[in-house]
Structure 1
């Protein structure tokens, strides 16, 4: 463990991104209840732009499956939360894969509040652009990405952040840890039990 700061953690990720030329896809994986994944992903944007790279921000929650599929087994089924919530194939097909080929991508696919397609037009990023995707339970899905970041906390911290209303999600994250091992497969891992004082996992 190497204690760091939020700004230094972001700078570390930016340095990893800028270490190679060309288009880069960055996946920031963290439980939504922590809020840390969105914060880190957003913190990468300005430093990358300052370095001369175009940046595309995409949220995995804009690629959820329709409610009829997400909630087929009920609204509080942890296995469905892990397996059926995200339209991983669409995220790969519409964003990550084409971005790596020619910079094209779909910014959003599904509006979960209205439960209907967003009908967003396809876009094309500049040569050398960086796509920054944030979301939860993203690793272990065979997504093509040049850099993966996983933000982790102790189980007790996650339980506290989820609270009693969302405690049903805990088995989903436990399965994720056991079956995917995100701390083992991510390129960059940081502990964020105290988001003001993250710690970089040195391997």
Structure 2
């Protein structure tokens, strides 16, 4: 809570969280610092309330329920192990996403699926447990947390576009990966505050 309060307090003064304020350069000859704007107080109160409501205990995510109850969530729809891997013109596939094939809204430069739901649940929930304080603060301050990690072992498979830098036509290159990207949001208008996983997927590159 201290970290969240300090960060929001800085935001109330500087207009952005995490800005470094060096008192030694805030004005020669002055004996006091400017008071934070009163406009920052409701923001601080809201952030601290959200922080407290999220609780100190990290949640354990059931991804089937997570996706069913939260419209923007697509952890399984786009990255589940059930999504066919190899390109097929008749169905939506992991490889086909590189080319904007049937079932995809647009072409992507990487497209991966989890090896199985057990690995997905273990790795993502482990990430949430290890990083809950940071996640909780990000959600209180900004309403969203984005992160990534290396599991240290294979978690999924898929494709990257080897022509993504304009060196040639789109070309899906198969690979396995240990990298994972995660996005967590606050549930809109939820009281008490509640988080959900928007996306969590294996990645070939972390950018």
| TM-score, normalised by the number of residues in structure 1 | 0.24
**Larger helix percent:** 1
**Which of the pair has more CA radius of gyration?**
2
| TM-score, normalised by the number of residues in structure 2 | 0.24
More relative contact order in 1 or in 2 (CA 8 Å, sep 6+)? Answer: 1
